[in-house]
């Protein structure tokens, strides 16, 4: 599919505070029906739980805007849809089969490679003019312009591929998201989404650590419930985690 990123429903900026913020602001202040916001730099990039997302030049920063009436109960589905879109985009560019095998999805919606974080997602919503607007922010580390790489604890896609252009990545992600969003079918095929997600994450029984709002749970990865919540076995007891995140060794 040929996509023109200069089309009126795809707005590209050099520098913004946050592509999610710009998406909401554009909807409030213009009559344009935008599909995507793209930026080369974010000065106030956002991550989950109020964390910042380092967003210098050389990364992919995009926001998908959804105007469809999606129930709040289904919003958690979108994290799995979006992370599959990111995974597929990354997987298509990584050349080495060993490196491709090290690409994993980390609950709830991060992409890692060789145990280093490569990409993440932030989903937000607002009521604007009596209509619920959902935005999905994507952040992908592509090029690292710090030649010294001191204290680097994250991955960059450019380390795993030879030919890479941001404009091509934008188009790849848009196509990939459209594909997985159609497969999801507004929750009707969420079981298929979960099965696809599980095929790209940790092995059953693998030891993991999960950080919630009030504790760190150490146990074995069992899988996901039908609603996408995480199932961890700790001391022969299955625990259900609805909110939190798996943490990597370098994130402790």
Question: What are the sequence ranges of the domains in the chain?
Answer: 10-198, 207-251
Within this chain, domains 10-198 and 207-251 share the same CATH topology: no
Q: Does domain 207-251 have CATH number 2.30.30?
A: yes
pLDDT given at position 252: 57
pLDDT in tens, 19-52: 999 999 999 998 778 999 999 999 977 766 566 6
CATH architecture of the domain 10-198 equals 2-Layer Sandwich (3.30)
| pTM listed for this prediction | 0.92
CB neighbour list of residue 179: distance below 8 Å, 6 or more residues apart: 85, 88
Q: E-strand spans in the chain?
A: 10-16, 36-42, 60-66, 103-106, 110-113, 116-128, 131-140, 207-211, 216-224, 230-234, 237-241, 245-246
Residue 150 pLDDT > 70: no
* pLDDT of 65: 97
Residue 200: name the closest of 102, 117, 126, 131 by CA: 102
Give 246 or 95, the one with higher predicted confidence. 246
With bands split at pLDDT 50, 70 and 90, how would you rate the model's confidence at 204? confident
Binning pLDDT at 50, 70 and 90, where does residue 197 land? very high
Distance CA 13, CA 33 (A): 17
Confidence of residue 202 (pLDDT cuts 50, 70, 90): confident
pLDDT reported for residue 3: 66
Q: Which tens digits make up the pLDDT trace of 67-110?
A: 988 988 899 999 999 999 999 999 999 988 878 899 999 999 99
DSSP state of 158: G
Q: Where does the pLDDT of residue 53 fall: very low under 50, low under 70, confident under 90, or very high at 90 and above?
A: low
């Amino acid at each position: 599919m040929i996509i023109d990123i200069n089309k009126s429903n795809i707005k590209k900026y050099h520098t913004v505070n946050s592509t999610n913020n710009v998406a909401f602001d554009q909807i409030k202040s213009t009559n344009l029906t935008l599909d995507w916001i793209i930026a080369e730099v974010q000065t106030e990039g956002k991550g989950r739980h109020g964390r910042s997302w380092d967003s210098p030049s050389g990364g992919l920063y995009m926001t998908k805007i959804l105007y469809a009436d999606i129930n709040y109960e289904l919003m958690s589905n979108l994290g799995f849809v979006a992370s599959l879109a990111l995974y597929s985009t990354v997987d298509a560019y990584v050349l080495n089969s060993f490196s491709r095998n090290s690409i994993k999805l980390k609950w709830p919606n991060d992409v890692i490679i060789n145990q280093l974080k490569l990409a993440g997602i932030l989903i937000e919503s607002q009521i604007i003019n009596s209509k619920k607007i959902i935005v999905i922010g994507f952040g992908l580390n592509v090029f690292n312009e710090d030649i010294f790489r001191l204290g680097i604890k994250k991955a960059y896609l450019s380390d795993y591929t030879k030919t890479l252009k941001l404009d091509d990545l934008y188009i790849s992600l848009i196509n990939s998201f459209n594909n997985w969003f159609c497969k999801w079918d507004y929750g009707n095929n969420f079981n298929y989404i979960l099965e696809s997600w599980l095929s790209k994450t940790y092995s059953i029984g693998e030891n993991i650590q999960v950080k919630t709002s009030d504790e760190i749970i150490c146990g074995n990865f069992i899988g996901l419930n039908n609603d996408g919540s995480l199932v961890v076995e700790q001391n022969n007891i299955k625990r259900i985690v609805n909110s939190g995140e798996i943490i990597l060794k370098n994130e402790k």
